[in-house]
Structures are given as structure tokens and as C-alpha cells.
Structure 1
């Protein structure tokens, strides 16, 4: 599957990460002991097959999501370089390193004591392991539990287990509050999530889809037979979308491709779609919509706010 926008590349790599992850160091399901604190964090620490003898002080993150997680748990001062797509938080030490096409020699030149990746492209994990550089692979999450587990693992490995536990608990609490007061409906509202103007989307099988499910929405892509081998990221036709007549259109291509409610309205045949007629075309932040870190709460809040405006 080929895409001409960054969002498809992100989707493709997310799928690849889930399949390639079995070849590399996997994150553990173990959580830090209750009552542990960063001040009391002791090393060595083991997550999966990875053991760190001491707290890492020169972390290289080649995953925008991992970068957000590391800073959220208080490990930002230990991060010395991030990939060229890591743009949040703004003060993250951005470099020309690539997470899409990682180069072992360029990474090694940063003399890291921990590298965090979301993809094992070109067997980069083996390459770095050969160079005796510790590597943690944090594949694209399929569920919120995957996200919580990755935050927990990063907390353990960086010496911030308590902060990591606080972040995951805060996420859980915020999500529970957001969905608690949603109105009960006899029929679910439907939606189309747009990854790019070529009409690639995400089904409910994906992490993205699972967030919409929390808001009680039904994905029009689930009823399509277009998914096939697309791994949850099918390309729909205009005819399929217009015929499905979604109540909402969520645009995750506002930055990459300058899509907006106005550009959607101007598409041939879309003016009569319920989402367009009712001004329920919602512009998302591309970055937040494509990551599975703490800001997923912001993504859900945008969705819930849109849904809450529709009378039950």
C-alpha cells in the first residue's frame, strides 16, 4: 500500500511495527512495585529481555510517541536527541535522525545509553544490539492498555516509575470522566476518520478506532470490504463514503494536506452528507491523532465535545 502523505506512511509503519515487533525486544507487562518512587528507584531494572544496569542519562528517542511519553513522565532531561518527526514538546532536542529509516552509525554517534524505537526497520534493533547499545521497541499500540504498558515500561527503565504510574492513572481518570456523561442513544452516530485526501481511513481494529469507540461512535469503514490486507487502514472510495452518509467526518490531514471543513464541502457529492450539512466536519491535530501517548486524552476530548453537541 502506498501513500503520498505522511499520514499513510505513519499508518503503514504502525502496521509494520505490530508485525515486526516480534523480532525485537518486546515491552513487558510487568508494572513497578506498589509504593515505588523515583527517588527510591533502584537498578538494575529489567523490562522484557532488556536489562539496564544504571539509570540512562543519554536517551535517544526515534518515536514521536515515545518522546511525548518520556517527557510526560519526567525523563525529558535524560533525552539527548529525538528523531526529525518528534515535535512535542517543543523543547525536545530534535535532530536529523530518522525513525522511518534509522541509521545505526548515526544513532551510535550520539553515544546513547538507551534507544527507544517504534519500528524495527532494516533490523535496526539487531544492528544496535551488535554495537552494545540498549534498545527498547515500543510498537504502535493497538489498545489503550498497550499505551499504559509502554508508559509504565519507560518509567521503570528511566528511573521514573512513580511519575509513570501517575501519568497512566491520570489518563484513565480523565478518559472515564469524558465518557461518563455522554448521552445514551438508541442508535449510534456514525463517523469517517480521514488520514489523507486520498481517502485512506482507519477501522475499529486500530488504536485510532478504539478511541472513537469510547465515545460510542460507529465507524463506516467497518462495514466496508475495502480493508482486506490493509491491516485496518483501508482506502475508501468517495461513493462508499457518500453512500454511508456519516454523521461526522474527522480530519486528521489538516496539517499535512491542508484539509478543512471548507475543502470537504467543496468535494463533488459531499455537500449532502449529513456531517457536512450539519457542520459536523471536525478538524483534528494530525500529530495527536496519529500518536498513542498521553495526549490521546486531548483527542478523545475533541471527539466527545463534538458528539455532545448532537441532541440524543
Structure 2
């Protein structure tokens, strides 16, 4: 998932070093104008990007991008590639101007994608062998799986920048994210140990510290009650109401406000939850479901919410 090399034509560099005024000399000794680089060459194409599906070579700057990953959609628009995007999947809800379609990232249909005539497809899952199906007909595909740590999120943004001809802006975005997050973490209070519970849905499913979401909380020294779940379930354990009530977390983060309509009031009505410390002390933080589950540039907004909650609780 790291952009590793650009295959800029060596002739371009050679032409610049031959004659200071952009001319070359033919065999007869007469001066001839050096051909101007094409738009794709000027943008650094062809380029090879090391993605989740291995090295992917993109011959020309893509102008017909299809994104089947909400996180990648957000990143593409953030780095300035929005005008190149012609269709996004049915779960890409941000930004508002993204050309949402009925394409699915969970169950991708090769024929439906090919019908869009893309010159680049970005996705997070290789469901049903979709990468091979698209590659077979000559469509470059970037597989950018769900990030498991912040470095991978930065790296995927860099990948998209290299693949779309927006490398400088992508690098700027990634560096800005890292800077802001580092500053927030450095200034956060760390003298009080706080426990927390992150709810994915009202089943309730949660996340452990091994997940991307869990690691965000870990930056602030928070103790995750889900880490002691009987079954970690790959980082997404289903907790019992009794387990959460017994743990009595200092903070509760709800990432199921849109999908499931959860709030401090609905939590208080659950058996055994009415007396939880987080409810009594008004430490239930409602999150935008999408914001808390994506690894694009808006992860900074998620970190800010966690920072505010920790600062308030530690006061």
C-alpha cells in the first residue's frame, strides 16, 4: 500500500540536461525543439503503486474513477481527485457531491462496474474475485483494505495520490493528519486512568484495542473494557449487558446513533444500565456512525471528539 516508483520517461530528464533552452541537436547539427511532455507524463505517469493486490501500474492519469470504498471516496475528494470520480458505491455518504450510485462494495458486480467504463477502480474488499475479473478486462484496480493502524491510513492516502496524479496534495493531507493527531495526543491529560466502552450497535458489539478504532482510544491512555471479553471475536466481540454493567465504564462512545437511534436516554432504559457512571455523569458521547468507522482524512475529527471527552472527564 505504499507508492513505490514512478516510471517517468528517462528521455524527459535527458532533454532537460542537453541544452539549457529546451532544444536538442539532430545528427545534421541543426537545432530542433524538444517535444513537450504529455499531460500524463507531467503528472508522473505511468506510475506503479504497491497496493493490497500487489504492484498496480497505471499508464495514464485516470479520468473515470469508480470508488467502491467509503473511506477511499472521502480520501479521493480530499486530495483533489473528486473531478476524476464518476461513480461511488451505495455506502459512500461523504462528501455530499460524491456521485453516489447503486454499485455495491460488499457484493460488487463486475458487469455493472465495467458498464461505467472506468479507467481506475478503488475498493477495500476483493469479494467474489472482483479484482481478477476487472483486471482481466484491462481495468487497473487498487485494493486498499481497511486500515488496522494510523500509518496504514496515511499510506493509503498516499497510494491514492500517486495513482490519481494528486501526489503532492495527498502527501500534504497525510502529513497534516499526522501533525494534528500528534498535537492532540501530546496535549491531552494523562494523569487519570479512564475506562471506556465503544458500541458498534445495540446488540451490543464492541471493539478491542487491536482494531483501528481501538487504537485511536489507546493513544489517549484509555482502558478498553472489551479487551477482557470472553471471546475477542477477531477484535469485534459481542458483549452481554451484564458484562458492560459490571465493568461500569467511565466513558461510553455510541457509534450506533444513525443505524440504531441510540442515545444516553435509550441506554438508561436497558436492564441494569440506569446506574452506570457514564450515564450519571453525562459521559455518553454520541458519534456519527460513519465518522467512527472510516479511516480517511476525517479520522482527525474522530480523534478530536475523543480528546474533548477525555479532557472533560479528567477535569
Indicate whether the TM-score tops 0.5: yes
1:311 is displaced (CA, Å) by: 3.1
**Is residue 2:283 matched to residue 1:280?**
yes
Question: Distance in 2 between the 1:204 and 1:40 partners?
Answer: 43
Secondary structure of the corresponding residue to residue 149 of structure 1: helix
**Is residue 2:185 matched to residue 1:211?**
no
Question: Distance in 1 between the 2:306 and 2:42 partners?
Answer: 39
- After TM superposition, the structure 1 = structure 2 runs for residues 217-256 of structure 1, keeping only pairs within 5 Å, are 217-227=222-232, 230-256=233-259
**Is residue 2:270 matched to residue 1:267?**
yes
Counterpart among 126, 129, 136 of residue 132 in structure 2: 126
Secondary structure of the corresponding residue to residue 66 of structure 2: strand
The one-character-per-residue Cα deviations of 1:188-211 (angstroms, maximum 9, x if unpaired) are 201000000001011011000011
Aligned residues: 279
Secondary structure of the corresponding residue to residue 235 of structure 2: coil
Question: Distance in 1 between the 2:297 and 2:73 partners?
Answer: 11
Secondary structure of the corresponding residue to residue 30 of structure 1: strand
Question: Distance in 1 between the 2:3 and 2:230 partners?
Answer: 34
1:177 is displaced (CA, Å) by: 1.8
**Is residue 2:46 matched to residue 1:44?**
yes
Residue in structure 2 matched with residue 168 of structure 1 by the alignment: 174
Residue in structure 2 matched with residue 23 of structure 1 by the alignment: none
1:39 is displaced (CA, Å) by: 9.9
Residue in structure 1 matched with residue 141 of structure 2 by the alignment: 135
The one-character-per-residue Cα deviations of 1:103-154 (angstroms, maximum 9, x if unpaired) are 0000000000000000011111111111211100000000000000000010
Question: Distance in 2 between the 1:234 and 1:304 partners?
Answer: 24
CA gap of 1:296–1:122, structure 2 versus 1, over 3 A, is: same
1:276 is displaced (CA, Å) by: 1.0
Runs (4+) of structure 1 exceeding 4 A deviation are none
- Contact kept? 1:252, 1:285, Cα under 8 Å: yes
Residue in structure 2 matched with residue 3 of structure 1 by the alignment: none
Counterpart among 85, 95, 108 of residue 91 in structure 2: 85
Residue in structure 2 matched with residue 179 of structure 1 by the alignment: 185
Residue in structure 1 matched with residue 4 of structure 2 by the alignment: 30
- Contact kept? 1:31, 1:152, Cα under 8 Å: no
1:184 is displaced (CA, Å) by: 2.5
Secondary structure of the corresponding residue to residue 80 of structure 2: coil
* RMSD after superposition: 1.6
- Contact kept? 2:5, 2:49, Cα under 8 Å: no
Decide which structure has greater strand share: 2
Question: Distance in 1 between the 2:237 and 2:222 partners?
Answer: 18
Question: Distance in 1 between the 2:2 and 2:186 partners?
Answer: 31
Secondary structure of the corresponding residue to residue 202 of structure 2: coil
TM-score (structure 1 length as normaliser)? 0.86
Question: Distance in 2 between the 1:39 and 1:246 partners?
Answer: 55
List gaps (5 residues or longer) in structure 2: 7-39
Question: Distance in 2 between the 1:31 and 1:263 partners?
Answer: 52
- Contact kept? 2:154, 2:174, Cα under 8 Å: yes
Question: Distance in 2 between the 1:303 and 1:311 partners?
Answer: 12
1:275 is displaced (CA, Å) by: 0.8
The structure number with the bigger radius of gyration is 2
Question: Distance in 2 between the 1:201 and 1:29 partners?
Answer: 33
Higher relative contact order (Cα pairs below 8 Å, separated by 6+ residues): 1
Question: Distance in 1 between the 2:75 and 2:190 partners?
Answer: 33
- Contact kept? 2:5, 2:47, Cα under 8 Å: no
Counterpart among 207, 220, 225 of residue 202 in structure 1: 207
